[in-house]
Amino acid sequence: MNRPLHVAIAGATGAVGVEMLKTLERRNFPVASLKLLASARSARYKMKFRGEKLVTEEMTEASFKGVDVALFSAGAGVSKQFRQAVVDAGAVMVDNSSAFRLEDDVPLVVPEVNPEDVKWHKGVIANPNCTTIIMLVAVAPLHRAFGLRRLVASTYQSASGAGAKGMLELLAQTKALLAEAKDMDELAERYRDVLARIDPPKAFGDPIAFNVFPHIDVFQPNGYTKEEMKMVNESRKMLHDPSLRISCTSVRVPSLRAHSESLNLEFSRKVTPEMVREVLATAPGVIVVDDPANNRYPLPIDASGHGEVLAGRIRQDVSNPDGTGIDMFVAGDQLLKGAAYNAVQIAELL
């Protein structure tokens, strides 16, 4: 690590912004100065950094003067609005939104996967989609070792994927249902009635309490959601293979934080679970949690609060009798490795 940097966090009061602040602190990032930027509505909000009280400021084009790195997590619209101001100020934008991820002159980077891509940035580096990051931290080392031929993913994404308001919505709906329905039969019968009487949902288009729904982000003409196609397109970009065969079904589940993924992998050669465990044991950012006999496998409640991706349930796929298939289950903290932690890691590469 070289000289301390002047850092700004744009969207400091959001779920990811708060984690960015904590991550800078925890990883002892060399901060020369720290600016907390927010919308007018969230300005003048007090936050703590290394024991010091900082106050959020309203973000303007002038905010980036003297800033070296601006960590953005305030939505795609805000990122687009301030991109030029950040670049003009000579700062590097590390952007957590989907605004620039697929642009040809914007590197999309997971430090464990493609750190080399940081070098060719032109002022903006994009932080990938959270579910894609969590998947690739575990899959990229296997792709390098064995050659990935095809990947089918089904996700179990927490309420935190919609930020603080997603978690609040899960809690509010759950509370209302438990308060108004005495037992599970009543709860099932009165489900929609009870939810119709509380505040209308803001984070999700479907009820989240005690439910799951296969809809994250908007639907595309091909029937996939934007979230599902991020898994396809961002993986292709980061693994530098534009024809990589990936399919994904993204599903929201009523867990609080950390996303899980069921992965079915096909390789271009025979691969055993032992070979997979051996590669993952030394892969950066991965912890193998794979001892079924003792009930040890990745759980979102265990991944919460950690920067590493947990990988387990590693087994030979019985549907590929030629021995080229592997099934695996991974879990990672969507707010940390899926967002804030990865963004800070990118800043560390600079």
170, 209 in Cβ contact below 8 A? yes
248 as an active site residue: the answer is no
Question: Directed axis angle between helix 15-26 and helix 341-349, to 10°?
Answer: 50
Smallest separation (angstroms) from its own copies to the CB of 248: 9
DSSP labels, 79-109: HHHHHHHHHHTT-EEEE-SSSSTT-TTS-B-
Closer CB to its own copies, residue 105 or residue 186?
186
> Order of strands across the sheet with 69-72?
57-58, 31-38, 5-10, 69-72, 92-95, 124-126
Nearer to its own copies, 129 or 304 (CB): 304
Residue 173 CA from chain centroid, whole number: 24
Find the shortest distance in angstroms from Cβ 37 to its own copies: 22
Instruction: Please calculate the CA angle 73-227-157 and round it to the nearest 5 degrees.
Output: 80
| Least distance CB 209 / its own copies (angstroms) | 9
The one catalytic residue in 6, 121, 130, 143 is 130
* Contact criterion met (CB below 8 Å) for 173 and 209: yes
Query: Smaller CB distance to its own copies: residue 282 or 295?
Result: 295
- C-alpha–C-alpha distance, residues 175 and 133, integer Å: 32
Nearer to its own copies, 1 or 185 (CB): 185
CB 127 within 8 A of CB 93: no
Q: Residue 103 Cβ, how far from its own copies at the closest point, in Å? A: 21
Shortest reach from residue 210's CB to its own copies, in Å: 5
Determine which one of 121, 143, 248, 259 is catalytic. 259
11/23 Cα distance (integer angstroms) = 15
Q: Please identify, using beta-carbon distances, which residue of 49 and 297 lies nearer to its own copies.
A: 297
d(CA 187, CA 172): 15
> Which residues are the active-site residues?
130, 259
